[in-house]
Amino acid sequence: MQVSKFSKWAVTGMVAAGLLGTFTAAMSPASAQGYGRYNPDRPGMQRREPNSSWSEIDKTPNFDSHSRSGYYIWREGNTVYIVSNARNRGGDTTFSGEAIVQGGSVSNVSGYRTEGGDRFRQEGDNRVTFRFTTDNGLDGVKFNVNGGRRIVLRLQSGNYGENRVFLGQDKIQTRQDPIIIAK
């Protein structure tokens, strides 16, 4: 089968146009913000659906410091827990992030098995930030959620670069960033 020069140029042009479109979309302001900067209420940002619901994070998971490393997130009533586990990482692992309650507020922010270098705090009415140094143990924060329509979680685990997150009693695993939990 012979292919004409015109056909070759047409195919080459279509491929180039597709690559240019992909590059342009990747460099747009919305995508340049990256998932870590996602704000569902900001005009012009791509809307993302929640990847979990309030009922899916219900009840404490069965885990301890020997369970898989990563974040464990659950709730008991209106209290949300964000707990890190750095099982067998061969040294300290830094876990950090924030939780933002959209359309509501947070209160009663406190630590969960924290030690000297671990930090957490409430920032404004609806935001909690944290930074834990975890070495073969559990560190976390808990807080009450008052009202709201969703919780947006941005989580990092700096020393080994992989964000494993386990949600609720069933330990539903996700690596999505941000994690959006609809109430």
How far apart are the C-alpha atoms of 172 and 166, rounded to whole Å?
Answer: 5
Q: What is the pLDDT of residues 135-152, one digit of tens each?
A: 767 888 999 999 999 999
Locate the domains of the chain by residue range: 5-32, 52-182
pLDDT at 24: 40
pLDDT at 35: 34
pLDDT at 90: 61
How far apart are the C-alpha atoms of 75 and 181, rounded to whole Å?
Answer: 11
Protein fold of 52-182: Immunoglobulin-like (2.60.40)
CA 78 vs CA 44, 146, 164, 167: distances in Å: 32, 7, 24, 15
How far apart are the C-alpha atoms of 5 and 172, rounded to whole Å?
Answer: 54
Q: Kindly give the parts of the chain with pLDDT less than 50.
A: 15-17, 19-48
pLDDT at 8: 57
Is residue 44 within 8 A of residue 63, CB to CB? The reply is no
Choose among 88, 76, 31, 57: nearest CA to 153.
57
Structure tokens at 93: 């692992």
Is residue 148 within 8 A of residue 104, CB to CB? The reply is yes
pLDDT at 148: 93
